[in-house]
Amino acid sequence: MPEKLFDLVQLVTIPTRDQGRSLRFYESLGFEVRADFPWADGHRWIEVYPPGATSTGLSLVPAGPDPVGVRTGVILNTSDIDTTYARMVELGVDVDSGIGRTGSPVEVRIGAVERAEPVPPMFWFRDPDGNELLVVQPHR
Protein backbone atom coordinates (compact mmCIF):
# COMPACT_ATOMS: atom_id res chain seq x y z
CA MET A 1 0.00 0.00 0.00
CA PRO A 2 1.38 3.47 -0.88
CA GLU A 3 2.32 5.77 1.96
CA LYS A 4 -0.23 8.38 3.05
CA LEU A 5 0.63 11.73 1.51
CA PHE A 6 -2.50 13.78 2.16
CA ASP A 7 -4.85 14.22 5.10
CA LEU A 8 -7.94 15.76 3.49
CA VAL A 9 -9.31 17.87 0.66
CA GLN A 10 -9.41 21.29 2.31
CA LEU A 11 -10.78 23.63 -0.36
CA VAL A 12 -12.23 23.69 -3.83
CA THR A 13 -11.76 26.96 -5.71
CA ILE A 14 -14.74 28.68 -7.29
CA PRO A 15 -13.76 31.37 -9.82
CA THR A 16 -15.58 34.70 -9.59
CA ARG A 17 -15.49 38.05 -11.31
CA ASP A 18 -16.83 39.80 -8.16
CA GLN A 19 -15.73 38.38 -4.82
CA GLY A 20 -18.12 40.54 -2.77
CA ARG A 21 -21.13 39.47 -4.82
CA SER A 22 -20.13 35.81 -4.60
CA LEU A 23 -19.58 36.05 -0.85
CA ARG A 24 -23.06 37.57 -0.34
CA PHE A 25 -24.56 34.80 -2.50
CA TYR A 26 -22.96 31.93 -0.58
CA GLU A 27 -23.79 33.60 2.75
CA SER A 28 -27.44 33.78 1.62
CA LEU A 29 -27.28 29.98 1.22
CA GLY A 30 -26.12 29.65 4.83
CA PHE A 31 -22.39 29.18 4.26
CA GLU A 32 -20.11 30.35 7.09
CA VAL A 33 -17.18 32.66 6.37
CA ARG A 34 -14.06 31.21 7.97
CA ALA A 35 -11.47 33.37 6.21
CA ASP A 36 -11.69 36.78 4.56
CA PHE A 37 -8.53 38.84 4.40
CA PRO A 38 -6.54 40.94 1.91
CA TRP A 39 -4.56 38.90 -0.54
CA ALA A 40 -2.52 39.69 -3.68
CA ASP A 41 -3.22 42.59 -6.04
CA GLY A 42 -6.13 44.06 -4.08
CA HIS A 43 -8.05 40.79 -4.00
CA ARG A 44 -9.20 38.85 -0.95
CA TRP A 45 -8.70 35.30 0.27
CA ILE A 46 -12.20 34.05 1.10
CA GLU A 47 -13.17 30.63 2.45
CA VAL A 48 -16.79 29.59 3.08
CA TYR A 49 -18.05 26.32 4.55
CA PRO A 50 -21.42 24.70 5.16
CA PRO A 51 -22.46 25.37 8.78
CA GLY A 52 -20.56 23.12 11.17
CA ALA A 53 -18.52 21.49 8.40
CA THR A 54 -15.24 20.00 9.55
CA SER A 55 -13.75 19.37 6.13
CA THR A 56 -13.96 20.74 2.59
CA GLY A 57 -14.88 24.36 1.97
CA LEU A 58 -15.09 26.68 -1.02
CA SER A 59 -12.51 29.35 -1.80
CA LEU A 60 -13.97 32.25 -3.80
CA VAL A 61 -11.00 33.21 -5.96
CA PRO A 62 -10.65 36.05 -8.47
CA ALA A 63 -11.11 34.58 -11.93
CA GLY A 64 -8.54 36.62 -13.82
CA PRO A 65 -8.10 35.01 -17.24
CA ASP A 66 -9.62 31.76 -15.96
CA PRO A 67 -13.13 30.99 -17.18
CA VAL A 68 -16.17 31.48 -14.98
CA GLY A 69 -19.49 29.77 -15.51
CA VAL A 70 -17.95 26.31 -15.20
CA ARG A 71 -19.40 23.02 -14.01
CA THR A 72 -17.37 22.87 -10.80
CA GLY A 73 -17.79 19.22 -9.89
CA VAL A 74 -18.71 20.35 -6.36
CA ILE A 75 -21.42 18.19 -4.79
CA LEU A 76 -23.26 19.57 -1.75
CA ASN A 77 -25.25 17.19 0.44
CA THR A 78 -28.61 18.02 2.00
CA SER A 79 -30.83 15.99 4.29
CA ASP A 80 -34.02 17.44 2.74
CA ILE A 81 -33.72 18.13 -0.98
CA ASP A 82 -37.31 19.35 -1.37
CA THR A 83 -36.90 22.04 1.30
CA THR A 84 -33.47 23.01 -0.04
CA TYR A 85 -34.80 23.32 -3.60
CA ALA A 86 -37.84 25.35 -2.50
CA ARG A 87 -35.72 27.70 -0.39
CA MET A 88 -33.27 28.26 -3.23
CA VAL A 89 -36.17 29.08 -5.56
CA GLU A 90 -37.47 31.57 -2.94
CA LEU A 91 -34.02 33.17 -2.81
CA GLY A 92 -34.04 33.59 -6.60
CA VAL A 93 -31.18 31.16 -7.19
CA ASP A 94 -30.85 29.83 -10.74
CA VAL A 95 -31.77 26.16 -10.23
CA ASP A 96 -32.68 23.34 -12.62
CA SER A 97 -36.33 23.11 -13.67
CA GLY A 98 -36.90 20.45 -11.03
CA ILE A 99 -35.31 17.76 -8.92
CA GLY A 100 -34.03 14.72 -10.76
CA ARG A 101 -35.27 11.58 -8.99
CA THR A 102 -37.16 8.34 -9.47
CA GLY A 103 -40.45 9.13 -11.21
CA SER A 104 -39.32 12.59 -12.37
CA PRO A 105 -38.78 13.52 -16.03
CA VAL A 106 -35.92 15.87 -15.05
CA GLU A 107 -32.60 14.72 -16.53
CA VAL A 108 -29.32 15.37 -14.75
CA ARG A 109 -25.93 15.39 -16.48
CA ILE A 110 -22.75 14.46 -14.64
CA GLY A 111 -19.72 14.31 -16.89
CA ALA A 112 -20.59 12.40 -20.06
CA VAL A 113 -23.65 10.76 -18.46
CA GLU A 114 -27.12 12.28 -18.80
CA ARG A 115 -29.72 10.42 -16.86
CA ALA A 116 -33.43 10.70 -16.17
CA GLU A 117 -34.64 9.45 -12.80
CA PRO A 118 -31.22 9.59 -11.11
CA VAL A 119 -30.70 8.00 -7.73
CA PRO A 120 -30.24 9.62 -5.26
CA PRO A 121 -32.32 12.81 -5.85
CA MET A 122 -30.28 15.75 -7.17
CA PHE A 123 -30.32 19.09 -8.98
CA TRP A 124 -27.82 21.65 -10.26
CA PHE A 125 -27.77 25.34 -9.34
CA ARG A 126 -25.73 28.23 -10.65
CA ASP A 127 -24.04 31.01 -8.67
CA PRO A 128 -23.98 34.65 -9.91
CA ASP A 129 -20.99 33.84 -12.17
CA GLY A 130 -22.79 30.85 -13.69
CA ASN A 131 -20.64 28.26 -11.89
CA GLU A 132 -22.66 25.07 -11.43
CA LEU A 133 -22.82 23.07 -8.20
CA LEU A 134 -24.79 19.86 -7.63
CA VAL A 135 -27.09 19.31 -4.64
CA VAL A 136 -27.69 15.68 -3.64
CA GLN A 137 -29.74 14.03 -0.91
CA PRO A 138 -27.68 10.92 -0.17
CA HIS A 139 -29.26 7.67 0.94
CA ARG A 140 -29.22 7.28 4.70
Position 66 pLDDT exceeds 80: no
Domain boundaries, the chain: 9-64, 69-140
pLDDT in tens, 12-47: 999 999 999 999 999 999 999 999 999 998 999 999
| pLDDT > 70 fraction of the chain, expressed in percent and rounded | 100
- Top-tier CATH class for 69-140: alpha beta
Q: Exposure of 39 by Cβ count < 10 A (0-12 exposed, 13-18 middle, 19+ buried)?
A: middle
Encode 46-85: b = buried (16+ Cβ within 10 Å), e = exposed: bbbbbeeeeeebbebbbbeeeebeeebeeeeebeebeebb
- Domain 9-64 belongs to what topology? 2,3-Dihydroxybiphenyl 1,2-Dioxygenase; domain 1 (3.10.180)
Same fold, 9-64 and 69-140: yes
Tell me what pLDDT residue 1 has: 78
What single-letter amino acid sits at 78?
T
pTM for the complete prediction? 0.92
CA-to-CA distance for 123 and 105, rounded, in angstroms?
12
Position 140 pLDDT exceeds 80: no
Q: Where are the strands (E) in the chain, listed by range?
A: 11-16, 32-38, 44-49, 57-62, 71-77, 94-95, 107-110, 113-116, 122-126, 132-136
Tell me what pLDDT residue 127 has: 98
